[in-house]
Structure 1
Amino acid sequence: MKNNFFLLTGVLILFSNCAVIRPGEAGVKQTLGKFSDKVITQGTVVYNPFISKVLKESTQTNNINLVMSLPSKEGLSVDAEISILYRLEQNKIPSVLRNLGQDYEDIITSVFRSASSDVCAKFFAKDMHSGMRADIEREIKLKMDENLEKQADGIELISVLMKRIRLPLGLSNSIEQRLQAEQDAMRMEFVIQQAKLEAERKIIDAEGERDAQIILATGLTPDIIKIKSIDAFNKLSISPNSKIIITDGKTPMLINANE
Structure 2
Amino acid sequence: MEKLPKSIVPIIIVVIIGIIFISNSTVNISSGEAGVLFKRFGGGVVTDEPPLSEGFHIVAPWNDVFVYEVRQQTIDEKMTVLSSNGLDIKLDATIWFEPDYDRLGLLHKERGEDYIRRLIQPAVRSATRTVVGRYKPEELYAQKRESIQKEMYEETEQLLRDQYVLVNRILVRDVSLPPTIKTAIERKLKQEQESLEYQYRLEKAEKEKQRQRIEAEGKAAANEILSASLTDKILREKGIQATLELSNSSNSKVIVIGSGDEGLPVILGNN
Q: Is TM (by shorter chain) over 0.5?
A: yes
CA deviation after TM superposition for structure 1 residue 172, in Å:
2.7
Decide whether the 8 Å contact of 1:229 with 1:252 is kept in 2.
Answer: no
Residues 202 and 127 of structure 1: is their aligned pair in 2 closer, same or farther, counting only changes over 3 Å?
A: closer
Residues 201 and 99 of structure 1: is their aligned pair in 2 closer, same or farther, counting only changes over 3 Å?
A: closer
Q: Does 1:100 align with 2:116?
A: no
Of residues 108, 111, 123, the one that matches 2:135 is: 123
Query: Which residue is equivalent to 2:205?
Result: 195
CA deviation after TM superposition for structure 1 residue 179, in Å:
3.4
Q: Once the two structures are superposed, what CA deviation does each residue of 1:114-154 show, in whole Å capped at 9, x if it has no partner?
A: 443344333323444414414531453145326xx5xxx42
Decide whether the 8 Å contact of 1:119 with 1:139 is kept in 2.
Answer: no
Residues 42 and 95 of structure 1: is their aligned pair in 2 closer, same or farther, counting only changes over 3 Å?
A: same
Secondary structure in structure 1 of the residue aligned to 2:160: helix
Secondary structure in structure 1 of the residue aligned to 2:203: helix
Partners of 1:13 and 1:87 in 2: CA distance: 34
Decide whether the 8 Å contact of 1:128 with 1:136 is kept in 2.
Answer: no
Query: Which residue is equivalent to 1:81?
Result: 92
**Matched residue pairs, number?**
245
Partners of 2:189 and 2:241 in 1: CA distance: 68
Q: Does 1:253 align with 2:265?
A: no
Q: Does 1:110 align with 2:117?
A: no
Decide whether the 8 Å contact of 2:93 with 2:172 is kept in 1.
Answer: yes
Q: Does 1:45 align with 2:45?
A: no
Q: Percent identity?
A: 23
Query: Which residue is equivalent to 1:20?
Result: 28
Residues 232 and 121 of structure 1: is their aligned pair in 2 closer, same or farther, counting only changes over 3 Å?
A: closer
Of residues 151, 157, 179, the one that matches 1:136 is: 151
The aligned amino acid for 1:121 is G
Partners of 1:114 and 1:214 in 2: CA distance: 77
CA deviation after TM superposition for structure 1 residue 157, in Å:
3.0
Q: Does 1:54 align with 2:62?
A: no
Residues 154 and 57 of structure 1: is their aligned pair in 2 closer, same or farther, counting only changes over 3 Å?
A: same
Of residues 151, 166, 177, the one that matches 1:156 is: 166
CA deviation after TM superposition for structure 1 residue 56, in Å:
0.7
Partners of 1:154 and 1:236 in 2: CA distance: 101
Partners of 2:229 and 2:178 in 1: CA distance: 77
Query: Which residue is equivalent to 1:185?
Result: 195
Decide whether the 8 Å contact of 1:81 with 1:163 is kept in 2.
Answer: yes
When the two structures are superposed, what TM-score results if normalisation uses the length of structure 1? 0.73
Query: Which residue is equivalent to 1:65?
Result: 76
Decide whether the 8 Å contact of 2:123 with 2:160 is kept in 1.
Answer: no
Q: Once the two structures are superposed, what CA deviation does each residue of 1:35-92 show, in whole Å capped at 9, x if it has no partner?
A: 444532233223466x544221022222211112122111112111112232222343
Query: Which residue is equivalent to 2:221?
Result: 211
Q: Once the two structures are superposed, what CA deviation does each residue of 1:4-23 show, in whole Å capped at 9, x if it has no partner?
A: xx779966874564221234
CA deviation after TM superposition for structure 1 residue 103, in Å:
1.7
Decide whether the 8 Å contact of 1:85 with 1:159 is kept in 2.
Answer: yes
Partners of 2:226 and 2:102 in 1: CA distance: 95
Q: Does 1:171 align with 2:181?
A: yes
Residues 190 and 238 of structure 1: is their aligned pair in 2 closer, same or farther, counting only changes over 3 Å?
A: same
Decide whether the 8 Å contact of 2:82 with 2:132 is kept in 1.
Answer: yes
The aligned amino acid for 2:26 is C
Unaligned regions of 5+ residues in structure 1, if any?
A: none
Decide whether the 8 Å contact of 1:229 with 1:253 is kept in 2.
Answer: no
Query: Which residue is equivalent to 1:29?
Result: 37
Residues 236 and 8 of structure 1: is their aligned pair in 2 closer, same or farther, counting only changes over 3 Å?
A: farther
When the two structures are superposed, what TM-score results if normalisation uses the length of structure 2? 0.71
Unaligned regions of 5+ residues in structure 2, if any?
A: 265-271
